[in-house]
Structure 1
Amino acid sequence: MLFSCSNLSLDLTSFFIVGEVLLTNSPNLPHSLRNTWIKITEEDDYISFLDRGAERIVLKNSDIATSIRNQIPNNRLAITVNFCQNKEFYNIIKDLNGFTIILSFDVFNLDDIGFLKEVISQNLMDLEKTNFILDLKDAKLTYELIKQLKENKLEIMIPESQVSKTAESSDDCLTLGEIVTASLKTDRTDGLYTTVVTDESGVALGLVYSSLKSLNESIYSRQGIYQSRNRGLWHKGLTSGATQDLLKLNLDCDGDAIKFTVTQHGSGFCHLNTRTCWGQGYGITHLSQVLRDRMSNSPEGSYTKRLFNDRDLLKSKIIEEAHELCDATSKEDVAWEAADLIYFALARCTAEGVSLSDIEKHLDLRSKKITRRPGNAKPQFIKKAEENVEVPTIPLIKEEIEMCVYDFNILQSDEKKRLLERPIMKTEEVFGKVKPILDDVKKNGDKSLLAFTEKFDQVKLDSPVVLPPFNVPQLKPNVKKAIDVAFSNILKFHSSQLDMSAVLKVETMPGIVCSRFVRPIESVGLYVPGGSAVLPSTALMLGIPAMVAGCKNIVIATPPRKDGTLCPEVVYVAEKVGASVILVAGGAQAIGAMAYGTETVPKVDKICGPGNQFVTAAKMIVQNDTSAMVSIDMPAGPSELLVIADDNCNPAYVVSDLLSQAEHGPDSQVILLGVNLSKSRLAAIQKELDKQAKALERCEIIRKSIAHSHIILFNSKKMAMDFSNTYAPEHLILHVDDAESWVKDVFNAGSVFVGKWAPESCGDYASGTNHTLPTYGYAKIYSGVNTNTFVKHITSQTLTKEGLSNIADTVMDLAEIEGLGAHRNAVAVRVKDLR
């Protein structure tokens, strides 16, 4: 289908989905000319349009020179001819056999179709290669007219003025769905159209059905929406998260089937959580999908994940496999080495966010180029016969652990912006995996909790909860003392944050007293992770402020250990803070249980605590679910830390702080801002980083997180602090002289550690401040967890007769302006008794 668009400011995407677009040559042409036909004159540089990806150029028959025909393939040229019922037209058409012909009608009559069919048959035209498109200008298009022309193997040009901008048609406009169905036929008794769904590479995902309504909904929303034979209109993935972005819609050669080209999100198309209805897929497209999954959720120790984090290794492997492919001789060896090279090349693309469809777009564009370059290799890669040139040596992978260094003063603006970016979180994919878990817990309660615990933690439990009094295991004396000291400090700091007995009272006018008082949130859920590290400190940081606030019901959720027992230190803290329930579960299922409640888990009003990307996604989903009626402390991403250091810093101290966060996980990020750092001091920091990291048990995790961490050099304190405030780190450490004087310039940070004697670890465990802090830049808008996290403020007002009389006219006038008579009357009936 061809659409004619004259308004170049129009968003052409909708037309691109269902067909191609004819545009007039203009300085405002879109940058990408894919799916476009360009109407030009003989003087225009038509070759450049074709090289940029235009499907065809359109010229009047009078402008077509023999030289143009010889330069351009027939399938890239459309020719405009004025229609008339005479012999001259007969001869023109005969001469254009094999081209796409746009017939321009000044006035169109239905009997013109008969004449045109007669001309075509008499000239014995090759209808497989010759296409006719009718340009009816301002003639009114109808569904019946388009259908009739299609039945006669004639296409029609659709002017944008007669296309509805919404999924609703009118007397003057047809919807895109109507235009598509006018070209379709079906022999189904229910009138539905067979629809094949494929991904960007053409791999079939499944078979579904479409109707006029579903086509309109799908085209105008650019989503995969179909007509289920049992359930009616079906928005694919709306509940599971496995949604589809509609990229293109095509009809088959006979007009009795539709192909949807989509970007598939979530676990896949099939209800069995496979990518296709025929399994998980195969070949390069399957490899591309696996690499994208590994990018966001690689198994610990995965080689692919190491490739993403170690660019030197990936570069070396690409060079190595390219040489081995060039040296391969047998058919089997060539195939083997080519497979290796494709794997590493796709890994490189995935690391940069380049998809297989992005590559295919460039291949398609190149296939459309008319001009051709010589294709010679660059000089450094040319091996002359008379020279004995050795193959370049593959660089060895660096064993040193070091951070990339950037000089902020010489960076371009886009490079500066890139340094503010965090490691990418694939939120859409994670949401798609988490939503079904939450729905299952909501529906099946304890049964679902126990099943997910067995599936994810490999632990079979009889009950998902432990009730007080808790059977606290015997702790080592030094461990118990450490927890008690930390408990005391955290309690002291958080108790001072709130005076529950204080009531704010302000007399705003004589006789009007406005008050605000504090009340605890009655039921709270505290998530204490238990994955790669045991975190009783988190139980302290969440439980103590909840206890201080006076929350009546405290639910602590923490996953079981491999033997089914709980971390004894967490149980000890739960006993000290007076927890009412310990939920023996982790992940999204624990969040769902606290948000919706189960047979044994009480529903809570607010959920707090850190966790992995699945926990964070679950918190964000339940917060937006009105049936849950639950709030959360904050969104969160991976752990992060930023250090500002000057040339008097102690390299060992600086590095120890950087590593304290880098060891949290491979997606953690640490940044060092060096203010006037000398080369010797910078070298000492890099040396210390390698030394300390290799001595740590979690060295491999550190190696991965350091891969997306960096050092940035600044010439002034102000520039460094501006960068820090823009980045808004979870933890900010000031390793500078006169560190106290720098604090006044901090506007965005979760928690600040002032001076070289204030390591981040103290805040994590026992100094008294809270370690549950906003990450991923949320420090710009969120505070860390504190006592106020667990309370709400209620306001009240008391008015005397005098007070009501003083404010009555103001209230009545404002109510009258807003047209709310009952509001005005509530004051008026009282004023009547007062005045």
Structure 2
Amino acid sequence: MLVPAITIDEVSDATITHLAAYALTGDVLVVPSPSAIPELKSVLATTSAWVQFPERASVDTIVSTLDAGAVKAALVYSSSQQPTDPSSAFQQLPADRLALILPAIPTAETASLITQYKAYVSAFIVPPRALLNSDKLPQLAEAAKGVHLLVQVDTLPSLQLVTELDKLSINIVIPTHFLSFGPAENKLNIGEAFASTLKTDRPDGLFPTIVVDEQQVALGLCYSSAESISEAVRTKTGVYQSRERGLWYKGATSGATQRLLKITPDCDKDTLRFVVSQSGPGFCHLNTRTCFGADSGITALAATLESRKASAPAGSYTQRLFSDPNLLRSKIMEEAEELCEATEKDEIAWECADLIYFALTKCVAEGVTLADVEKHLDRRSRKVTRRAGNAKPKWEGVAMGGKVNGTTEAVEVVKNVAEAAAPPATVTAPAMVEVEEKKEIKMKVYNYADTTPSERTALLQRPIIKTDEILARVKPIMEEVRRNGDKGVIDLTEKFDRVKLQHTVLKAPFDPSTYAIDPTVKKAIDQAYDNLYAFHSAQLDSKPLVVETMPGVTCTRFHRPIERVGLYVPGGTAILPSTALHLGIPAQVAGCKEIVFASPPRKDGTAVPEVMYVAHKLGVGCVVLAGGAQAVAAMAYGTETVPKVDKICGPGNQYVTAAKMVAQADSSAMISIDMPAGPSELLVIADEHSNPAYVASDLLSQAEHGVDSQVVLLASNISDAHLAKIEEQVRLQGEALPRADIVRESIGKSFVLRVQGREEAMRFSNLYAPEHLILHVEDAEDLLPLVDNAGSVFVGHWSPESCGDYASGTNHTLPTYGYARMYSGVNTLTFVKHITSQMLTREGLDRLGDTVTRLAEVEGLEAHRNAVAVRLRDIRAGRE
């Protein structure tokens, strides 16, 4: 395929037309002057364009251009900017939006650069000199497997070269002065070049062509030839190959013409899709919009509304909506409210259909088409930066069964907003500038006394996890590792983490360079290790339990370590050597013979050195360089280099949790897990004696874990003024955090519940069963007897949750999502199993035997009865 390269010094109407024409058959590469970049943004939303940036372009400029709609940013390679540099675009932007333009260097060095940067970009553009060594192109194609490879040309290529490179999945970047839309000397015809890369097994050499409209609705099926494709590109209209009449210019006689918007081949390049704007009554000769009968759905509704706008019957409801903007506005707001209140599946669909009807009526009334709406959707899908997604202040808090902060009726709020938002008599059009609003860091507030039983139940729920969807994604990953071992781990790590591993594990003894860390960090890890070891070693049974249940009958229980354990240390949005300590120390204390760590690698494929230091200190046997479900699968089933374990422990995201549960349920894996786990959570009980700054800091310490974390504040008899101080501290401290954007999202899922007294607070807390429970109340220790369900409790103002997370000695791997009702956190006993034994003397069996034989008879288990009876006969024979 061809990628036309267009140099632009200024953006004009002619520029826009030029770009659209060259983009008919694929993407274009725009090479703008620095002054043209800001103007170019107005064009990118509707053009499939890559934009080439100068070597020293700022990341902000690149981001804003991608946000404007550029498909990819093409960056010029610079030896001074390494892909691992945190300030580089390679670290700050998604790989699928970046391309790298490589310098004119030998093929071997080019292949090496491709390998080095492959995890950070999705396309490579190599210079013309690559064609001078065309026999080496397969080598480059192999190095670039999985991403796009393009070759620039500085001379006119032949059709044969275009075809040969396409067979290697190599595209050509070609200056537009070499291209033409029709026959021209010393030019390459774009249509012919496009057709030269297509395939067909039909005897007539034609290509089936699906014709769709702007919404991708199929209008009909046609056929194309190399000649008709060239003519369609030249005329920018729908031109096809009739099997009976030759070239067919759609609408030439009927008037139902088509404006050609895009031609794309399918994955096998033997079928085409023409995207067109259809005029006239429709595509079909029967004057229907499609050859498949009447249109349906949203596109049919839009067409009907367009027709009604032109000729709606006088007095009809649709005519009233078009002529009365206030009525239309009211209906949109009414239907939006009804959709928000709907709960049943069919009811939601019904109310959504109503809202779409009135929203489309608004669009049609103002001359806005579905295509216009979809342009905005497409543009937003290309944005790199995202809005926080918060509601505007006037809508904030409209939730909980029609209440705001548990008190104000939503219906009244909607009415008030409708009145306040009514348009003034004269309106000055604002500048067309999109403002990124930052969500306020603020928790929702409810009053327990004002909530209904159903609302209280809703407050106990965590953010929904779509278990079926996650399991459907996880199971194929697990199976891939099970079938392909190390290769599966390597391929999946490259796919999901964009990291190309050279090997899957690091085996002990570890190279000291892998755990070289800052001395102050080492000192902190060492102190945390000592405290954790002291607490966890105290948990281990010092001697067997021996009980003589009756004379001559002795029962014993003793522990043995689980031999092989796999410990999952998350990576993701934070580096977590603390988790390595909290999992590894109880396993070490328990005496596990083989400890395996699994932790996601860094972008360069290396392990986190802080985690490696913990692994070295604990005597871990190997570290698996993988995360997610593939890491769990590797430990559960074993691979060529990853040992199979007997138990997997450790926190992780939803996919890690699902993978652990899948493995535990698979009898062929033969493993157990510590517990189900979900996102981090924390519940604070605070009264009027609490320190607002301390309360806020504890809430934020968990809110920063991830956007799906949840924190809850139970405000026990707190005054409005004191609660306002806590809220202000949450806002001020939250805004100052490096992970403030994460906090905005998690705080939005969190809430304050005002309760009357400590007993009411404890009842709700035990129902919620939090992972972490913090008691910011007077005489906090007195509440401990009331705690029935919690992962870990932090008592008093001087016991921040952070100490438990790191170094106080208790374990931070705790049950979440309400599982504290039935699970304990990780502890030393997590890594041992208990074995029982019993020893009966002759006299003991004589005393117990009749009880056993009678119970065996009741259950109908004769062999059980007989095993005791034969012995009893011997014991009692001498007495007869």
Output the TM-score relative to the length of structure 2.
0.53
Aligned match of 1:441 in 457, 481, 484? 481
Amino acid at match of 1:452: L
Alignment of 1:3-82 (within 5 A): none
Q: Which residue of structure 2 lines up, in the alignment, with residue 650 of structure 1?
A: 691
In structure 2, relative to structure 1, the CA distance for the partners of 1:413 and 1:379 (3 Å cut) is closer
1:809 aligns with 2:860: no
C-alpha separation between the residues in 2 aligned to 1:644 and 1:770?
21
Offset, 1:477 = 1.1
- Matched with 2:802 is 761
Q: Go from structure 1 to structure 2 and tell me whether the alpha carbon gap of 1:320 and 1:677 turns closer, same or farther (over 3 Å shift).
A: farther
Could you say if the C-alpha distance between residues 567 and 398 of structure 1 is closer, same or farther in structure 2, counting changes exceeding 3 Å? Answer: closer
Please tell me whether residue 670 in structure 1 is matched to residue 711 in structure 2: yes
Shift of 1:459: 2.1
Q: 1:378 to 1:423 in 2, by over 3 A?
A: closer
Structure 1 equivalent of residue 362 of structure 2: 326
Change (3 A) 1:806 1:693: same
Cα offsets for 1:359-414 (capped at 9, x unmatched): xxxxxxxxxxxxxxxxxx9999799x999598999999675321111110111111
CA drift of 1:322 comes to 8.2
Alpha carbons of structure 1 residues 668 and 555: separation in structure 2 relative to 1, 3 Å? same
Q: Determine the C-alpha separation between the residues in 2 that align with 1:321 and 1:391.
A: 29
Correspondences of 1:207-246 after superposition (within 5 Å): none
Choose from 553, 556, 569 the match for 1:515.
556
Contact (CA 8 Å) 1:321, 1:337: kept in 2 or not? no
Partner residue in 1 for 2:827: 786
Q: Aligned AA for 2:576?
A: L
Asked if 1:336 corresponds to 2:372, the answer is yes
1:401 pairs, out of 427, 436, 441, with: 441
Structure 2 unaligned segments of length 5 or more: list them.
1-216, 219-266, 268-272, 274-294, 300-339, 341-353, 381-388, 392-413
1:644 CA drift (Å): 0.3
Matched, 1:475 2:511: no
Distance in 1, Cα, partners of 2:646 & 2:675: 14
Q: Which residue of 2 aligns with 1:432?
A: 472
Secondary structure at the counterpart of residue 794 of structure 1: strand
Task: Report Cα offsets for 1:487-530 as digits up to 9, x if no partner.
Answer: 0000000000013x411111111110011001110110000011
Say if 1:658 and 1:670, in contact at 8 Å, map to a contact too. yes
Displacement after TM superposition at 1:799 (Å): 0.5
- Map of 2:571 onto structure 1: 530
Q: Distance in 1 between matches of 2:747 and 2:834?
A: 43
Amino acid at match of 1:456: F
SS in 1 for 2:711: strand
| Distance (Å, rounded) in 2 between the aligned partners of 1:343 and 1:690 | 32
SS in 2 for 1:566: coil
Is contact 1:321-1:340 (8 Å) kept?
no
Q: Is the 8 A contact 1:524 1:606 kept in 2?
A: yes
2:859 corresponds to 1:800 = no
Q: Is the 8 A contact 1:583 1:590 kept in 2?
A: yes
Is 2:606 the partner of 1:570? no
Pairing 1:413–2:453 present: yes
**CA spacing shift, 1:734–1:824, aligned 2, 3 Å:** same
Given that 2:560 and 2:833 are in contact with CA atoms closer than 8 Å, whether structure 1 keeps it comes out as yes
| Corresponding residue for residue 493 of structure 1 | 535
The offset of 1:600, in angstroms, is: 1.2
Contact kept, 8 Å, 1:324 with 1:337, in 2: the verdict is: no
Q: CA deviation digits over 1:590-619, x for unaligned, max 9?
A: 100111111111111100000011100000
1:456–1:491 CA distance, 2 compared to 1 (3 A): same
1:452 aligns with 2:492: yes
Query: Does the CA contact (< 8 Å) of 2:596 and 2:620 recur in 1?
Result: yes
Counterparts of 1:280-429 in structure 2, within 5 Å, are 326=362, 331-333=367-369, 336=372, 399-429=439-469
Q: 1:519 to 1:571 in 2, by over 3 A?
A: same
* 1:575 positional shift: 1.0
Q: Match of 1:833?
A: 874
Deviation, 1:328, is: 6.3
1:705 lines up with 2:746 in the alignment: yes
| Separation in 1, partners of 2:296, 2:619 | 56
> What is the Cα deviation at residue 416 of structure 1?
1.1
SS at match of 1:424: coil
Cα distance in 1, alignment partners of residues 468 and 841 from structure 2: 55
CA distance 1:334–1:802, shift in 2 (3 Å): closer
In 2, the alpha carbon distance for the partners of 1:324 and 1:515 equals: 76
Structure 2: distance between partners of 1:774 and 1:807: 42
* Conserved 8 A contact 2:390-2:439: no
Change (3 A) 1:808 1:746: same
Contact 2:440-2:744 within 8 A present in 1 as well: no
Distance 1:652 1:379 in 2: 35
- Given that residues 325 and 337 in structure 1 are in contact (C-alpha distance below 8 angstroms), is that contact kept between their aligned partners in structure 2? no
Tell me, what secondary structure is at the counterpart of 2:872? Answer: helix
Q: CA deviation digits over 1:418-460, x for unaligned, max 9?
A: 1111000111101000000101111111111111122222222
2:721 is equivalent to residue 721 of structure 1: no
Determine the C-alpha separation between the residues in 2 that align with 1:435 and 1:708. 29
C-alpha RMSD over aligned residues: 3.8
The 1:569–1:321 alpha-carbon spacing in structure 2 relative to 1, beyond 3 Å, is farther
Q: Classify 1:774/1:477 alpha carbon distance in 2 versus 1 (closer, same or farther; 3 Å).
A: same
Q: 1:325–1:334: 8 Å Cα contact kept in structure 2?
A: no
CA offset digits 1:145-196 (Å, max 9, x no partner): xxxxxxxxxxxxxxxxxxxxxxxxxxxxxxxxxxxxxxxxxxxxxxxxxxxx
**Count of residues paired in the alignment:** 498
CA distance in 2, matches of 1:811, 1:325: 82
Q: Distance in 2 between matches of 1:322 and 1:536?
A: 54
Q: Which amino acid aligns with 2:858?
A: I
Code of the residue aligned with 2:473 in structure 1: it is K
Q: Is 2:520 the counterpart of 1:484?
A: no
Task: Describe the SS at the equivalent of 1:671.
Answer: strand
Cα separation, 1, equivalents of 2:736 and 2:370: 43
Q: Is the 8 A contact 2:443 2:748 kept in 1?
A: yes
Aligned pairs (5 A) from 1:615-654: 615-654=656-695
Relative to 1, partners in 2 of residues 1:611 and 1:387: Cα closer, same or farther, differing over 3 Å? Answer: closer
Q: Distance in 2 between matches of 1:450 and 1:483?
A: 31
Gap change, CA 1:474 and 1:333, over 3 Å in 2: same
> Could you tell me how far 1:461 is from its partner in structure 2?
2.2
CA offsets, 1:29-76, max 9 Å, x none? Answer: xxxxxxxxxxxxxxxxxxxxxxxxxxxxxxxxxxxxxxxxxxxxxxxx
C-alpha distance 516-351 of structure 1, shift in aligned 2 (>3 A): farther
Aligned to 1:232: none
Paired residues for 1:148-159 under 5 Å: none
**Structure 1 residue 733 and structure 2 residue 774: aligned?**
yes
The residue identity in structure 2 corresponding to 1:336 is D
2:730 equivalent in structure 1: 689
Q: Distance in 2 between matches of 1:336 and 1:623?
A: 50
Q: 1:589 to 1:690 in 2, by over 3 A?
A: same
